Amino acid sequence: MSGGSRLDYDIVVVGGGLTGTALALALSRTAHRVAVLEPQPPKPPTEDWDSRIYAFSPGNVAWLRAIEGWQAPLRAEPVREMRIRGDAGGRLTMDALDAGLPELAWIAENGRLQYAFWQAARERGRVTLIEAAAEAVAWGEQTHTLLLTDGRRISARLLAGADGAQSWLRRQAGIAVDEEDYDQAGVVANFETERPHRGIAYQWFRKDGVLAWLPLPGRRISIVWSSRNADVPERLAMPAEDFARRVADAGGHALGALRLITPQAAFPLKRRRARAWVRPGLVLVGDAAHSVHPLAGQGVNLGFRDGRLLAGMLASGGNPGEIGRLQAYALRRVEDVASMQFATGGLKKLFNNELPGLDWLRNTGLTLTDRQQWLKQALMRHAIE
C-alpha cells in the first residue's frame, strides 16, 4: 500500500480504472482523506498499442489536465473533423474550425491513461492506493467498513463505486439494474493506414452495424464495429489480412490499405442504468451507475462528468456521505445520462430497422442536419463538454 498506512478515510473509491482514479485525483485537492481500492493496478506500458481506445471530450481533457492526470506516458491524437455516412447516401460532416474549436475530441489508449493517473496519484502523495480487493462490506450509520481479502479493514464516510458495469459494490448494496441487451458486440482493433488520416474520424451507419474509425498518432487508427452477435465469431476468427481487407472495404478505402497491428477483440453492448445512484454514504459513478451504446463515444465521458460534478460538490468539506448532497448530485446528473442513453439507443434502433421508408428518413435526416450550420454547431458544442 502506498501513500500512507491509515485505514480510515473520508472517501474510498472502489475501482481504480479511469473514472475512479480521476475522481480520486480531483478529490485529493480537497481536505478529504481519499483512498482508491483496486486489485489489478495498471502495469507500465510497452510500445504495443492498447486495443481499448476511447474518445475524450475537450471539456473532460481540460479537467484531466487541471488535476494533472493528462500526462506522460499518454499517447493522444486530436480529432479535427468527423465524417458520418448513412447507409443510403446520407452524410454529415463536423469540422472543429467551423465551430471555432481547436479539436472535437481526443483519442487515447485506456492503459496508458490509467497508468498516468496512477503515477499522478503516487507523485502527489495525497491519494492512498490500496492494491487489494474487498470481500465484504459492513454498512454503518456514519461510516461503512470494507473487509479486504488480505484481512485488512478500511472504513469511510463515503464509498464511491467506480468498479464498472458488473459493480461488486452495487451488488453488495442490493441495488438493481435496468438493462437492455442490444444483441450486439463491439469488435475493436487497431490498424496502420496507407494514407494519413489528418485527424479525421469516420463513422458509417451500415446494414451490418455501425463502423467507426478513430485517428491515433501517426498513420494509425482504432476501429469499433458494432456487430450483431451472430456476426462476431466470424469477425474475430478472420486472419489478420482478411480482416484488414474487410474493414478497408467497409470504409470505402478512405485511408487506402490497412494493416492489423492488434488482434481483434469484442465486448458486449448493453444499456444499463442502476435504479439508485446514491444511498447514505454511497455513490455510484461511471459504468457502475450507467452505460450507453458506444456509437457516440460518450461512455467514459459521462463517467468523467460524474467525477467533475461530484468532486466539485464535495470540495466544500463536511460529511461527504451526507445523503442530501448526494441526492442533489444525482438529480443534476440524471438528465445528461438519460438524454445520452435516449439518443444513442434511438440511433441504434433507427439504423438497425428495415421498416419501409426508414432508410430514406434516417439518411435524409443526416443530410438535412449537415445543411444547418447552427444545428451542427449546437451538436458540436454539446459533444465537447
In this predicted model, what pLDDT tens digit does every residue of 164-210 receive, in sequence order? 999 999 999 999 999 988 888 999 999 999 999 999 999 998 888 88
Min mean pLDDT across 50-59, 95-104, 113-122, 359-368 is at 359-368
How much is the pLDDT for 20? 98
Query: How crowded is residue 167: how many other Cβ atoms within 10 Å of its Cβ?
Result: 24
Packing angle, helices 299-314 and 323-350, rounded to 10: 170
Q: Using the predicted structure, report yes or no on whether residue 351 has a pLDDT greater than 60.
A: no
In angstroms, the CA 128 to CA 134 distance is 15
* pLDDT tens digit sequence for 247-265: 999 999 999 999 999 999 9
Q: Using the predicted structure, report yes or no on whether residue 141 has a pLDDT greater than 60.
A: yes
How much is the pLDDT for 335? 82
Structural contact between residues 291 and 165, judged by C-beta atoms closer than 8 angstroms: yes
- Domain assignment of residue 343, yes or no: yes
- Domain assignment of residue 120, yes or no: yes
Q: Which domain covers residue 175, as residue numbers?
A: 8-74+107-179+271-348
Q: Using the predicted structure, report yes or no on whether residue 4 has a pLDDT greater than 60.
A: no
- At 233, give phi and psi (nearest 5°): -55, -40
Cell, residue 332: 443534476
Residues facing 76 on adjacent strands = 108
The residue whose grid cell reads 472543429 is 96
How much is the pLDDT for 89? 66
* pLDDT tens digit sequence for 215-247: 999 999 999 999 999 999 999 999 999 999 999
How much is the pLDDT for 364? 59
- Domain assignment of residue 300, yes or no: yes
How much is the pLDDT for 3? 40
- Domain assignment of residue 222, yes or no: no
How much is the pLDDT for 210? 87
pTM of the complete model: 0.90
Cell, residue 205: 451507419
- Domain assignment of residue 294, yes or no: yes
Question: CA distances (Å), 146 to each of 42, 151, 191, in order?
Answer: 22, 10, 43
- Domain assignment of residue 88, yes or no: no
Question: CA distances (Å), 268 to each of 39, 74, 124, 322, 381, in order?
Answer: 23, 27, 36, 36, 29
Quick check: helix, strand or coil at residue 31? coil
Work out the mean pLDDT of the chain and round it to a whole number. 88
* pLDDT tens digit sequence for 48-105: 999 999 999 999 999 999 999 999 999 999 999 999 887 656 788 889 987 788 999 9
- Domain assignment of residue 131, yes or no: yes
How much is the pLDDT for 133? 97
- Domain assignment of residue 145, yes or no: yes
Q: Indicate which CATH number applies to the domain containing 165.
A: 3.50.50.60
How much is the pLDDT for 356? 43
Q: What is the 3-state secondary structure (H, E, C) of 32-62?
A: CCEEEECCCCCCCCCCCCCCCEEEECHHHHH
Between these two residues, 281 and 295, which has the higher pLDDT value?
281
Between these two residues, 335 and 39, which has the higher pLDDT value?
39
Between these two residues, 283 and 300, which has the higher pLDDT value?
283
- At 323, give phi and psi (nearest 5°): -65, -35
How much is the pLDDT for 355? 44
How much is the pLDDT for 174? 98
Q: Would strands 81-85 and 200-206 be described as parallel, antiparallel, or unpaired?
A: parallel
Q: Which of 170, 141, 173 is nearest to 157 (CA)?
A: 141
How much is the pLDDT for 348? 46
Task: Assign 295 a pLDDT band (cuts: 50, 70, 90).
Answer: low
How much is the pLDDT for 331? 96
How much is the pLDDT for 206? 85
Query: How crowded is residue 322: how many other Cβ atoms within 10 Å of its Cβ?
Result: 15
In the chain, the number of structural domains is 1
